[in-house]
Amino acid sequence: MATSVPPSAPVAESKKYFVLGSSTLAFTVCFTIWMMFGVVGIPIKTALQLNETQFGLLTAMPVLTGSLVRVPLGIWTDRFGGRIVLFILMLSTVVPIYMISYATEYWHFLVLGLFVGLAGGSFSVGTPYVARWFKPERKGLAMGVFGAGNSGAAVNKFVAPVIIASAGWMMVPKVYAALMLGTAILFWIFSASDPSHQVTSKESLGQQLAMLKDSRVLRYCQYYSVVFGGYVGLSLWMVKYYVTEYGLDMKHAALLAACFSLPGGVLRALGGWLSDRYGAYKVTWWVMWVCWVAFFLLSYPQTDFTVITVKGPQTFHIGIGVEAFTALMFTVGIAMAVGKASVFKFISDEYSSNIGAVSGIVGLAGGLGGFILPIIFGAALDLTGVRSSCFMLLYGTVCVSLVGMHYQFRRESMLSAQAALAKA
């Protein structure tokens, strides 16, 4: 009778890196397409004569479904395995992506955007799928490498303007549909499955969602809504911001906007390494402080004011030039990349048995932040006429995170110290 031979250690070791590489590629392509309206939406806005709020809703529609499906996708990944779930998810978006090229009315784009947004749920599939292939001391780095697929936001800014300039915006969905289909096939070929990674829990969706009563999960939801939701919102908003605030053409605006999106994705692996080395709390704390300072500076609008001096009225101008603005956005991109990884280090450390469901819930919170922010950005701009109002809003959210972190972790430290004294 023939017996199966267990794979050698080098084969098993190489398999997990194939999984990591193919999953990261798949997530990068999914994120590229998820952010499509951040660039394609600009000529659509002009053609349909949309206001700022309508433009914000257009860019945010894919983010809505990409967020709402994260919880069930995370649970299905626990039960059925990440390989099959991610493959089917990618295939399901190909036709809606292609159909965008034939849309003519505003509501067409909104409806199709909802279906395209399913691609955004890939994060909640890939995170637990990748994490279970690595040992605890390496999970932070592995999830950081996978999370570097957020750089798809920058890929979109490089690719879409070139396609628009050469063939018009309607060619972008056609190219992206072919890209999604090809990537799904490559992912299936190079990825792998391990039945031992599947969770056989029979808990219902309601029972899984009961973990929202856990204060730690709610806390991580709030952090992630800042570092990921803020990243998505700004990635969708920055190209148009450069065009309207600094008068740049779309190609140069997209290139400078990528200075935020690219480090915000690629350096997530650095965040995973830092979290493994120094701990998730310290890393997240410093991320929030960096964002707090940067958003304070970015919030100041272009201002002209007149001062009455002994020599007569003197007019002064205060504002951030395009170079300083780009440097600050580059810094924020790095901070958010590190913060996205550090938040998920919390989750992998504390919820290893049901990481799929918890990452889905936290991802949902971050995604909803990315959905709401562009709409609020547009509404604030329509109401105030101040373009930097988007940074004023983000500054407020970071303040909430810093205050919450200070009091919550201080309380937990005091409880731990009291428990240690009681045992002594």
With a pLDDT cut of 90, the percent of the chain lying above it is: 48
Q: What is the pLDDT of residues 217-236, one digit of tens each?
A: 888 888 899 998 999 899 99
Structural domains of the chain sorted by starting position, each given as residue range(s) with its CATH number in brackets? 12-194+207-423 (1.20.1250.20)
Q: Is 24 exposed, middle or buried (0-12, 13-18, 19+ CB in 10 A)?
A: buried
Q: How far, CA to CA in Å, does 74 sit from each of 12, 180, 344?
A: 25, 21, 14
The angle at the Cα of 35, spanning 32 to 41, to the nearest 5 degrees, equals 130
Q: What is the pTM of this model?
A: 0.79
In the structure, what pLDDT confidence band is assigned to residue 73 with cuts at 50, 70 and 90? confident
Comparing C-alpha atoms, which of 262, 293, 298, 287 is closest to residue 31?
262
The per-residue pLDDT for 36 is 93
- pLDDT, tens only, 9-22: 554 667 888 889 99
> pLDDT category, 198, cuts 50, 70, 90?
low
- Please give the structure tokens belonging to residue 203: 């808990």
Confidence check: pLDDT of 252 > 80: yes
Tokens (6 digits) for 186 = 């490559």
Average pLDDT of span 392-403: 91
